[in-house]
Amino acid sequence: GAVVSQHPSRVICKSGTSVKIECRSLDFQATTMFWYRQFPKQSLMLMATSNEGSKATYEQGVEKDKFLINHASLTLSTLTVTSAHPEDSSFYICSAISGPATGVNTEAFFGQGTRLTVV
Amino acid sequence: QQPVQSPQAVILREGEDAVINCSSSKALYSVHWYRQKHGEAPVFLMILLKGGEQKGHEKISASFNEKKQQSSLYLTASQLSYSGTYFCGTERETSGSRLTFGEGTQLTVNP
């Protein structure tokens, strides 16, 4: 299957600082990428849909100014957690699909996830 | 709306079978199944389309009942490697490939 690489896998940062997480599709062009957040023993909650060359679409309740998403190329999307606080500590996972998000069933390939700890 | 998975947890002995269900109150276009090991990203298992198809490979298969908006994942002759949390992700025709995941079913296979 296709490969999605997420970096870093773990990051610890001080409260108030910003953290950038990268999500790369290594062997296919990802027109659409998705960013999820997962708390321990809970489900994956979709935060936003990232489309190459356009603004991300955020889910209800997700602060767009706090979670900045940039999808500058067909192989890279970044999530920046700005002014991070301890409550932002979580497991962040990206996924990518190889075609446009047209509602056609398309397998989503997940990155390895990023464990963010804000101290 | 988040799909409902059942059971929440199941413990098996190696070689036993299990069924995990995923139900939605909304009309679905497809259901995706993933398995996640602790601290790792979800791994894709299979996609099922509306139309009642059934899919499977080796000892893991699934079905999708469009009338009931329910999908079931069947694990037969379970192996230790099957342990993990299973999530169904549902897709609606208007959701643009966005998946809504259930709460997950924690499966433990013991020797």
Is B5 or B56 the better-scoring residue by pLDDT? Answer: B5
Residue A108 is classified by DSSP as P
Nearest to A37 by CA among A102, A98, A103, A115: A115
Nearest to B111 by CA among B42, B20, B33, B11: B11
* pLDDT, position A30: 84
- Mean pLDDT, range A35-42, rounded to an integer: 91
Cβ(A7)–Cβ(A21) under 8 Å?
yes
Q: Which of B43, B94, B97 sits opposite A106 (nearest CB)?
A: B97
* pLDDT, position A103: 47
When mean pLDDT is compared across A104-108, A115-119, B3-7, B92-96, the lowest value belongs to A104-108
* pLDDT, tens digit (0-9, with 9 covering 90-100), for B57-87: 678 999 998 888 999 999 999 999 999 999 9
Question: A-chain residues within 8 Å CB-CB of B99?
Answer: 34, 46, 108
* pLDDT, tens digit (0-9, with 9 covering 90-100), for A46-68: 999 988 888 899 999 999 999 99
Whether a cis peptide bond, with omega within 30° of 0, leads into A40 is no
Confidence of residue A106 (pLDDT cuts 50, 70, 90): low
Q: How far apart are CA B80 and CA B110, in angstroms?
A: 6
Instruction: Provide, rounded to the nearest whole percent, the portion of chain B with pLDDT above 90.
Output: 59
Instruction: Provide, rounded to the nearest whole percent, the portion of chain B with pLDDT above 70.
Output: 93
Q: How far apart are CA A30 and CA A37, in angstroms?
A: 20
> In this structure, which amino acid lies at residue A25?
S
**A44 and B43 in contact by Cβ < 8 A?**
no
* pLDDT, position B98: 85
In A1-40, the residues whose Cβ lies within 8 Å of chain B are: 1, 6, 32, 34
**A93 and B42 in contact by Cβ < 8 A?**
yes
* Partner A contacted by B3 (CB < 8 A): no
Residue B88 pLDDT exceeds 90: yes
- Chain A residue with Cα closest to B31: A105
Residue A82 pLDDT exceeds 70: yes
* pLDDT, tens digit (0-9, with 9 covering 90-100), for B32-52: 999 999 888 888 888 888 765
